[in-house]
Amino acid sequence: MRDKRYSLEELIEDESFQQWVFCQDDTGCRDWDLYLLHYPDERETVEEARRVLMGIRSETVIPGRLVERMKTNFNTAIDEYEARLANKGNDRGGSNGNSSRNRWVWYSLAACLLVIAVTTGALYLEEGLPGDMLHHVAWGKHKAPPGMRRQIDLPDGTRVWLNAGSELRYPAAFSGTLREVFLEGEAFFDVVDNASRPFVVHAAGLDIKVLGTSFNVRAYASVSVVETTLIEGKVSIASSGSDSLQHVRLLPNQKASYRKDLRTIALGEVEDAGDYTGWKNGWMIFDDKPFSYIKETLERWYDVEIVMEDERSLTCTFSGKFKDKTLQEVLDIFKNTEAINYRIDGDQVFISGRLCLY
């Protein structure tokens, strides 16, 4: 029976605890079962340590080249760590008996971190495995839930506006040769210039690479086309992991439209790029958009579900600008100009009748 409490680090490093986690030794299993009975308030710490060690047993498939690079990186790091401990021990007239750590524990921790990095997308596989895994998996995440918008300042000073129903993941600090972020949804980026460290947005199969510029990306999971609109500067765009698709360069007042299904990019001119970024200032701007597009925008903007009586109306196209309007005010405009009616019931909107009859 163990007569002391253990910290998270002590549990992970304890060889008998490792055996208990994987139940390789009956005596060890009984020993730690008794520990939990004696210290029931330590169950949360024990469970956390167990989850860390079990990370190596994850079913996530990780490319072998990453595993090998992980081992090399961690072997180097452990060698340097143990050398520092040995030097400290010599300076004090002795050696540190704990300097020789069980490398299996470190591999368990590394594998756990690698699984987290791969499954969350925090690790960009095409760029290889970073040397400092602990640093690179410290990612932050910001969400703009439906009905709300968010403004974020990234570690390098880059400013990002997130539209409703969007999410941005980014590291706690940028390191290496690239500043990489991952976007799902829509965002406007005002990127701080740094020629030696380009800024890359990964969004729905696209890699958007810039040095310092401002642009808008619309990449919702439910939308089949990803739109990148450049306000100023230059960006290059390519389909992730594709060797056949050359980089497309975008100039101010140009829009790149990426078809997810075909993996193709088309360039087009826009009369006013500000129409694509007005949302961050409270504008909803529709330029000859089908009502299906308008419907999805209203659902995200006001956090509602819109149910159409006549689905043919979804193909009708409209243009218009709305500034700081309530949902009811927007729907009244359609009601007064089209042959429809609507009913709001909680977070659901029911639209009856048909748009664009003529």
| CATH code at 282-354 | 3.55.50.30
Residue 9, helix vs strand vs coil: helix
For residues 264 and 258, the answer to whether their CB atoms sit within 8 Å is yes
For residues 233 and 252, the answer to whether their CB atoms sit within 8 Å is yes
Joined together, the tokens standing for residue 92 give 């004090």
pLDDT for residue 82: 60
Residue 147's Cα: distance from chain center in Å? Answer: 20
pLDDT for residue 126: 36
Euclidean distance between CA atoms 244 and 153, whole angstroms: 35
Q: Please report, for residues 110, 267, 301, 313, the alpha-carbon distance to residue 305 in angstroms, rounded to integers and kept in the order given.
A: 43, 33, 11, 16
Q: Where are the domains of the chain?
A: 8-57, 64-135, 138-275, 282-354
- pLDDT per residue, tens digit, the chain (358 aa), is 566 777 766 776 677 777 776 654 445 456 676 777 777 777 777 776 766 665 544 444 444 555 555 556 556 655 665 666 566 556 555 544 444 444 555 555 555 555 445 444 444 433 344 444 434 445 677 888 888 888 888 988 899 999 998 999 888 778 778 888 899 999 999 999 888 888 999 888 788 888 778 999 998 888 888 899 998 888 888 876 554 455 788 888 889 888 888 888 888 888 877 788 888 888 888 888 899 999 999 998 998 999 998 888 888 898 888 888 889 999 998 888 888 899 999 889 999 988 886 5
Beta carbons within 8 Å of 133's beta carbon, 6+ residues apart: 70, 73, 74, 110, 113, 114, 117
Write the secondary structure of 84-148 as one string of H (helix), E (strand) and C (coil).
HHHHHHHHCCCCCCCCCCCHHHHHHHHHHHHHHHHHHCCCCHHHCCCCCHHHHCCEEEEEECCCC
What pairs with residue 190 in β-bridges?
159, 214
| 221: DSSP letter | T
For 96-125, b/e burial (b = at least 16 CB within 10 A) is eeeeeeeeebbbbbbbbbbbbbbeeebbbe
What pTM was estimated for this model as a whole?
A: 0.58
Max distance between CA atoms of the chain, in angstroms, equals 94
Euclidean distance between CA atoms 288 and 152, whole angstroms: 31
What pairs with residue 206 in β-bridges?
203, 239
Number of C-beta neighbours around residue 303 at 10 A: 15
CATH number for 138-275: choose from 2.40.50.140, 2.60.120.1440, 3.40.605.10, 3.10.20.90: 2.60.120.1440
What pairs with residue 247 in β-bridges?
none
